Structure 1
């Protein structure tokens, strides 16, 4: 994090990224002195409510973060920034989004946790829009113009006031990762599954070291003192109350429970009761430390695509085991009326043998279990996510895969990613093809 004193003293000359979080109430004019080099500007965590009309003087600015400020309107000056591709205004007080505020090369827009009721027609006129995060607003509809967002891959519209998903949305050729939980349109979680999940009293748990922290909660290693006197090592996830970019953490908890048992899903042991702060949480299977993430999170440059280590390679056997396991897990979820919404390599844990687990249900949504056009379309969006994953894994298999099998897998990848949503195979067919290979 940089300081205002450094900026004013000229110590930051030539930098490409500036991070300032120091209670700012006005945009520091000294930032314009960095116009020749500045590409990423992060002003999150201040008290700003406007930006200068001549922001476009920052001619190289590609990325702007202004989350956790006091904006009530997305600044119109952003639309004049011709190099700007990523805009993040999460957790402000934004009610109004003028069409003029949307930069012409907008690729990634984050407006999570605001007060937006309507979006402008111009949103559908941004040809490179790829990632759109709108969870936690007051939207009742999406602009009809968005039917032309043919490059849109990731859409987060959870926790709004949508009564239906527009038919055109489920025909978008590139849409891959969709989260819509917490809207009136969503089918409710399986109450039977929720009620059948054992309650585990907080007093029976002894937390040890923290294992990780994400947007929705904190995971810790713990010891569970069972009623029969035995002790079991487990993982405890305590959920935060805030809105995440995917949606509500409590929807994530319900999806984890409703998902049920599958060898490629992390097992839920029970729900926590009696927490002193009434915090919600789950007790889950503790994952062996030999498991690690398949991939890294998307970067500012990769936008909606995972990042893999340059030396990341897989044997043919491991690649096939991962593909089979994840396809089987996704097929299981769809039978329970759940779309994962975030089927990505960074949400998959695996070991050297190719044993794998699909985790992180933060973007999961519920749908009807009956077979109809909408249900099939929602499921086929997830099939495209699998196709993307399959392609990423195949690109990192150097040997051990015969030409015939590689061609068959590449053909499967192409079918899963084809533009015609309903023309993609169901996961039952995907699993059958993989088993035959």
Structure 2
């Protein structure tokens, strides 16, 4: 974090990344002193409602974040910033997105938690678009032109007003990660899951919280003691909206998934929290498990970041691939797509044992329906990306995984293998 005083004193000359969060109501014109170096500008957490018309003077600006401000319109001047490729205006009051606000090089657009009712047809002209985050708005349709965005890989439209899944998404050749829960057309299935026997409530009073174990975009995970006896993990959701959708939808998917060795078990949903917070109670995971990778960076956009030197022996890579395929097969059989099938949501041990977690982007579908077949094909592409990463970080080549990868990444969605077939094929590859 930088300060306005540092900026005004000229102490930030040559800076490539600037972050100011100090109650700003107007854009500080001293930022233009950084025009020859500034690439990333983060003005989140202020009280801004406009940007200056001469913003393009920041000719190297690639990324701008203005989340948690007071914008009601996405500033049209953004479209005139020649190098701009990433825009993040989460949690504002935006109702209108002008077509002029979309720069030609746009790769990543985040407008989560606003009040947007429509998007311009010109969005379909953003040929470089890879990531589109629209959860928590008032949308009931998407521009049909979005079908032209052939590089689009990740879409979040959860918690809007859709009465059906937009057709324009179902033919995108590279779409891999899709979240659409919390809309009118998913509500009945989510409520049914939450009313099932797997959603038994665990009263807050039965828990003794200990140390914090971790924190993500949607919630905080604590170690706790249940009934003074069992050590458990408790995930307490932060609020009514996450970057992927609604806590209620995540809970519905978790309890609706059923038990499987490759899924983190759910002991119950959190009940009677003093502030009414939602949450999940889970067993503690053995400390031998660790994240397979880190989440995507600003540079990698839709690709996970692995630790330097990460290497997987062939048997380990096969075990991870099979374990995750088996877990996803279970989800699909229960009418659930994970929506965020990434290495950073996988815990693994050295022997190849693994657990698939984080259901924040999970969504429900009707098993056996034509649309369900397409959704499973979309998730197969995400699995293909994961296989590619396991291969890239493999200690030695595994030709059978390469063949599976190619099948999962083919452009025709319905020609990609289903996870029951993937699981069987990978099981046959495992060492005896």
TM-score, length of structure 1 as denominator length: 0.96
Quick check: 1:195 aligned with 2:196?
yes
Quick check: 1:313 aligned with 2:319?
no
Q: What SS class does the counterpart of residue 155 from structure 2 fall into?
A: strand
Q: What SS class does the counterpart of residue 151 from structure 1 fall into?
A: coil
Further displaced range: 248-257 or 143-152: 248-257
Shift in Å, 1:372: 2.5
Query: Aligned runs of 1:10-29 on 2, under 5 Å?
Result: 10-29=10-29
Q: What SS class does the counterpart of residue 189 from structure 1 fall into?
A: helix
Report the Cα distance in structure 2 between the residues aligned to 1:355 and 1:174, rounded to whole angstroms: 29
2:427 is matched with: 435
In structure 2, list runs of 5 or more residues that go unmatched: none
Report the Cα distance in structure 1 between the residues aligned to 2:30 and 2:406, rounded to whole angstroms: 50
Residues 379 and 190 of structure 1: is their aligned pair in 2 closer, same or farther, counting only changes over 3 Å?
A: farther
Report the Cα distance in structure 2 between the residues aligned to 1:272 and 1:185, rounded to whole angstroms: 26
Report the Cα distance in structure 2 between the residues aligned to 1:209 and 1:388, rounded to whole angstroms: 35
Q: Is the 8 A contact 2:226 2:232 kept in 1?
A: yes
Report the Cα distance in structure 1 between the residues aligned to 2:195 and 2:10, rounded to whole angstroms: 58
Report the Cα distance in structure 1 between the residues aligned to 2:98 and 2:271, rounded to whole angstroms: 45
1:387 is matched with: 384
Q: What SS class does the counterpart of residue 159 from structure 2 fall into?
A: coil
Report the Cα distance in structure 1 between the residues aligned to 2:78 and 2:272, rounded to whole angstroms: 48
Q: What SS class does the counterpart of residue 262 from structure 1 fall into?
A: coil
2:220 is matched with: 218
Shift in Å, 1:117: 0.4
Q: Is the 8 A contact 2:289 2:348 kept in 1?
A: yes
Q: What SS class does the counterpart of residue 132 from structure 2 fall into?
A: strand
Q: What SS class does the counterpart of residue 249 from structure 2 fall into?
A: helix
Q: Is the 8 A contact 2:179 2:361 kept in 1?
A: yes
In structure 1, list runs of 5 or more residues that go unmatched: none
2:298 is matched with: 300
Report the Cα distance in structure 1 between the residues aligned to 2:178 and 2:16, rounded to whole angstroms: 33
Shift in Å, 1:238: 1.2
Shift in Å, 1:192: 5.8
| Structure 1 residues 222-254: Cα deviation after superposition (integer angstroms, max 9, x where no partner) | 11127xxxx111101112223111001121111
Q: What SS class does the counterpart of residue 230 from structure 2 fall into?
A: strand
Report the Cα distance in structure 2 between the residues aligned to 1:79 and 1:277, rounded to whole angstroms: 42
1:241 is matched with: 239
Further displaced range: 303-312 or 237-246: 237-246
Shift in Å, 1:190: 6.3
1:284 is matched with: 282
Q: What SS class does the counterpart of residue 188 from structure 1 fall into?
A: helix
| Structure 1 residues 366-411: Cα deviation after superposition (integer angstroms, max 9, x where no partner) | 1112x12211001111111001001101111123x5xxxx222111
What is the root-mean-square deviation in Å for CA atoms of aligned residues? 1.2
Shift in Å, 1:339: 0.5
Report the Cα distance in structure 2 between the residues aligned to 1:248 and 1:166, rounded to whole angstroms: 19
Report the Cα distance in structure 1 between the residues aligned to 2:281 and 2:89, rounded to whole angstroms: 34
Report the Cα distance in structure 2 between the residues aligned to 1:274 and 1:55, rounded to whole angstroms: 49
Shift in Å, 1:195: 3.4
Q: Is the 8 A contact 1:194 1:258 kept in 2?
A: no
Query: Aligned runs of 1:130-279 on 2, under 5 Å?
Result: 130-186=130-186, 188-189=189-190, 191=192, 194-196=195-197, 197-225=199-227, 231-279=229-277
Report the Cα distance in structure 2 between the residues aligned to 1:274 and 1:57, rounded to whole angstroms: 53
Query: Aligned runs of 1:84-163 on 2, under 5 Å?
Result: 84-163=84-163
Report the Cα distance in structure 1 between the residues aligned to 2:279 and 2:363, rounded to whole angstroms: 19
Match of 1:340 among 331, 338, 341: 338
1:41 is matched with: 41
1:7 is matched with: 7
Q: What SS class does the counterpart of residue 145 from structure 2 fall into?
A: helix
TM-score, length of structure 2 as denominator length: 0.97
Q: Is the 8 A contact 2:218 2:243 kept in 1?
A: no
Shift in Å, 1:185: 2.0
Q: Is the 8 A contact 1:217 1:249 kept in 2?
A: no
Quick check: 1:398 aligned with 2:399?
no
Report the Cα distance in structure 2 between the residues aligned to 1:432 and 1:258, rounded to whole angstroms: 23
Q: What SS class does the counterpart of residue 349 from structure 1 fall into?
A: strand
